[in-house]
Amino acid sequence: MIRRLFHHKHKENNIEELIEAAQAGDEEIQNQLLSQYQPFIAKSVSEVCKRYIDSSKDDEFSIGLMAFHEAIQSYSKDKGSSFLSFAKLVVKRKVIDYIRYEQNHVVTASLDDEHDDEQLENPQEIQAAKDRFEKESQNWQRKTEIEDYNEKLQEFKLSFSELSEVAPKHRDARESAISVARVIYEDELLLQFVQTKKKLPIKDLSTKVSVSKKTLERNRKFILAIVILMSEDYVYLKEYVKGV
């Protein structure tokens, strides 16, 4: 049974079955997933580190492997994201956190060893160094989310750069479009339609919102983009719609 599942070229629907089995306590399938997807993990880690990752030597790969295991246990298809998309984001975030910790540790240790007197007199300098690394890691994570989001948009024949052009110009219109996107996100059938058909269910949607079909069609691309955003595990990009 396990071999048969693993020999279907790892199609996404097959992966979903394997994830469910692993979450139910099948350790053999879990170990198979961790083994089979090591190249995927190494590639994801490499994209963060900007260098070749050796699975037998690099600590960053070990962090990525643990993060992939965490993704297996915490994944929920109800969120709308595919497992591999979710796992990639989890792996990258954990590696970024690890790099940030290591950088902060090195900076603090360096200041302790080489400038002990100065450290006592200038705690602001130490804090400034930590703040600088924190800012760099946040920028790195934002960049990762943007790249991942752009890949999702391409599945709908959209692009990140296109959002500024298709976004409603007036605030009220934007808020209305975001509210429509939230209705879709919170409705299982509507969300499933969007994810499978890659388009808006205009007819069904018009019965659930107080927006005309003409307006829905005009803001179609923007609404789709927001639905995608809501469906993914983005920390920074979701600030765009927070509170609306």
The pLDDT of residue 9 is 43
Residues 128-156 as b or e (16 or more Cβ within 10 Å = b): ebeeebeeebeebbeebbeebbeebbeeb
Each residue's pLDDT tens digit, 61-87: 999 999 999 999 999 877 667 888 889
- Residues 55, 57, 61, 62, Cα dihedral to 10°: 110
5-33 mean pLDDT: 78
| Percentage of the chain exceeding pLDDT 70 | 77
- Does the pLDDT of residue 206 top 80, yes or no? yes
- Residues 132, 57, 93, 164, Cα dihedral to 10°: 80
Find tokens 């956190």 and name the residue. 97
- What residue spans define the domains of the chain? 37-155, 160-240
The pLDDT of residue 117 is 46
- Does the pLDDT of residue 106 top 60, yes or no? no
User: In 79-168, which ranges are continuous DSSP H helix?
Assistant: 83-114, 116-121, 123-155, 163-166
Say which range, 24-38, 92-106, 146-160, has the weakest mean pLDDT.
92-106
C-alpha distances in Å from residue 62, one per residue of 52, 58, 99, 113: 14, 7, 13, 29
Confidence band, pLDDT 50/70/90 cuts, at residue 10? very low
The pLDDT of residue 69 is 94
- Does the pLDDT of residue 93 top 50, yes or no? yes
Confidence band, pLDDT 50/70/90 cuts, at residue 28? very high
- Does the pLDDT of residue 108 top 60, yes or no? no
Amino acid at position 134, single letter: E
28-50 mean pLDDT: 90
215-228 mean pLDDT: 93
Q: In this structure, is the dihedral angle defined by the CA atoms of residues 166, 170, 172 and 173, taken in order, positive or negative? A: negative
Confidence band, pLDDT 50/70/90 cuts, at residue 217? very high
- Does the pLDDT of residue 218 top 90, yes or no? yes
Find tokens 């600088």 and name the residue. 132
Confidence band, pLDDT 50/70/90 cuts, at residue 215? very high
Whether this prediction's pTM lies above 0.75 is answered by no
Each residue's pLDDT tens digit, 113-171: 444 444 445 566 656 666 666 676 677 777 778 888 888 888 899 987 888 888 898 98
